[in-house]
Amino acid sequence: MSIDQIVEEFVRESGLILEENLVGVYLHGSAAMGCFNEKKSDIDLLVVSERALSDETKRRYMDMVVRLNENAPAKGIEMSIVRKDVCKPFVYPTPFELHFSVAHLDWYRTNPEEYIQKMQGVDRDLAAHVTITVQ
pLDDT tens figures, 50-68: 999 999 999 999 999 999 9
Confidence of residue 83 (pLDDT cuts 50, 70, 90): very high
Contact assessment for residue 43 and residue 1, using Cβ atoms and an 8 Å cutoff: no
Residue 118: count other Cβ atoms within 10 Å of its Cβ.
Answer: 10
Parallel, antiparallel, or unpaired: how do β-strands 43-49 and 77-83 relate? Answer: parallel
The pLDDT of residue 11 is 98
- 2-11, 27-36, 76-85: the lowest-pLDDT one: 27-36
Chain-wide mean pLDDT for the chain?
95
CATH topology of domain 3-134: Beta Polymerase; domain 2 (3.30.460)
Strand arrangement of the beta sheet that strand 43-49 belongs to:
22-28, 43-49, 77-83, 98-100
Tell me the domain boundaries of the chain: 3-134
